[in-house]
Amino acid sequence: QVQLVESGGGLVQAGGSLRLSCLASGGTFRDYVMGWFRQAPGKEREFVAAITWNGSGEKYADSVKARFTISRDNAKNTVALQMDNLKPDDTAVYYCAGGSRWYPADRSNYNYWGQGTQVTVSS
């Protein structure tokens, strides 16, 4: 059974930074496209970023381009999301997800999900 565990969330001031990390276990990490999604109260879960199997390509939601960077370390079975210049609208629970194909923004592409980590950005 594949398990994904996120960490690194917290409370930051607007303009600050956080680095989220997701540790995978129970599968072959390199076989999965990895993505980050987020869900704010009262809103649907939305795509944030995704990275290909070997890290050769990435895709970002327009709302986070130039501010967030996704990366993966296949030797450590981790995927990270570096979040810079955070805004209050970034406040959400952030979820790590593993998928099978390169349909990065398609939630149905992802079969495995972490428990989520809370990111709160204050004014």
Q: What is the pLDDT of residues 54-111, one digit of tens each?
A: 999 999 999 999 999 999 999 999 999 999 999 999 999 999 999 999 999 999 999 9
Handedness of CA 107, 103, 61, 36 (dihedral sign): positive
Which pLDDT does position 1 carry in this prediction? Answer: 81
Which pLDDT does position 64 carry in this prediction? Answer: 97
Is 90 exceeded by the pLDDT of residue 20? Answer: yes
Running DSSP on this structure, what letter comes out for residue 90? Answer: G
**How many other β-carbons are positioned within 10 Å of the β-carbon of residue 69?**
17
